[in-house]
């Protein structure tokens, strides 16, 4: 895995554009629902590296297309989006990790079924995941809702600006793409929402000792899957 170079992010203090850069910040976008969100997430395992959340009607209501977070998605795409996967990332002294540069290429489904172009399959925390045709990934949007402050010492996500426009990037080309792209560190305050085009290349370091960084990552999809396949949902 290619290790991220965080020594000097090469694009600081930019007003990012989602279509052009593949990422943008919505300051305070989740503040209206932050307390409700914290209450709902409190019942899920605390301190785990990445907890995949499914079958939670309270969280589904908070993230619904008609709520404040869904409204953020609607403002940035021509078709309504629905939440199809949620993962709570909690970097802390008991569970910490670094993340090399990569693209997200899998989706979470209710059950396994064979369909042309879908594969290989994996199982993560008991949930079926599959790599779909890349057009499915390109049509998705990923939101990261921040529960804690994220400064340069608290493992901000790094994104390679513009990399979402390159399609499926071969693993052996990722390093070269990162070397050529402007890199942006996604700093945040509690209640901020970062939006990403799902194919964007991203990475992060481990958090500094004594720091905590909780982020709820939610994937939104524009439509249904082929017959026999169904999004996991929230």
pLDDT tens, position by position, 18-60: 999 999 999 999 999 999 999 999 988 766 678 999 999 999 9
The pLDDT tens digits for 93-102 are: 777 778 899 9
Residue 14 has pLDDT above 90, yes or no: no
Q: How far is CA 168 from CA 25, 48, 106, 118, in A?
A: 24, 30, 12, 15
Residue 47 neighbours by CB distance under 10 Å? 13
Residue 5, pLDDT above cutoff 50: no
Backbone phi and psi for residue 207, each to the nearest 5 degrees, phi listed first = -75, 155
pLDDT tens digits, one per residue of 158-185: 999 999 999 999 999 999 999 999 999 9
Q: In this model, does residue 110 exceed pLDDT 90?
A: yes
The arithmetic mean of pLDDT across residues 80-101, rounded, is: 87
Residue 210 reports pLDDT greater than 50: yes
pLDDT at res. 47: 60
List the end-to-end C-alpha distance of the chain, in Å, as a whole number: 30
Q: Are 12 and 6 in contact (CB under 8 A)?
A: no
Q: Can you tell me the distance from the alpha carbon of 75 to that of 82, in angstroms, rounded to the nearest whole number? A: 13
Average confidence (pLDDT) over 102-114? 96
């Amino acid at each position: 895995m290619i290790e991220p170079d965080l020594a000097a992010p090469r694009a600081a203090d930019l007003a990012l554009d989602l279509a052009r850069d593949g990422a943008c910040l919505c300051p305070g976008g989740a503040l209206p629902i932050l307390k409700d969100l914290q209450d709902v997430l409190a019942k899920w395992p605390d301190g785990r590296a990445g907890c995949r959340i499914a079958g939670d009607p309270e969280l589904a209501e908070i993230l619904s297309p008609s709520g404040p977070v869904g409204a953020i998605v609607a403002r940035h795409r021509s078709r309504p989006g629905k939440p199809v996967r949620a993962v709570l990332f909690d970097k802390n002294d008991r569970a910490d990790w670094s993340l090399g540069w990569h693209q997200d290429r899998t989706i979470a489904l209710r059950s396994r079924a064979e369909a042309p172009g879908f594969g290989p399959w994996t199982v993560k925390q008991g949930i079926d995941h599959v790599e779909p045709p890349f057009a499915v990934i390109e049509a998705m949007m990923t939101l990261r809702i921040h529960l804690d402050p994220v400064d340069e010492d608290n493992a901000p996500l790094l994104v390679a600006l513009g990399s979402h426009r390159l399609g499926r990037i071969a693993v052996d080309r990722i390093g070269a793409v990162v070397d050529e792209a402007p890199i942006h560190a996604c700093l945040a305050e509690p209640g901020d929402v970062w939006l990403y085009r799902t194919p964007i290349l991203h990475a992060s370091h481990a958090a500094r000792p004594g720091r905590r960084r909780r982020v709820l990552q939610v994937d939104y999809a524009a439509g249904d899957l082929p017959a026999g396949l169904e999004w996991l949902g929230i």
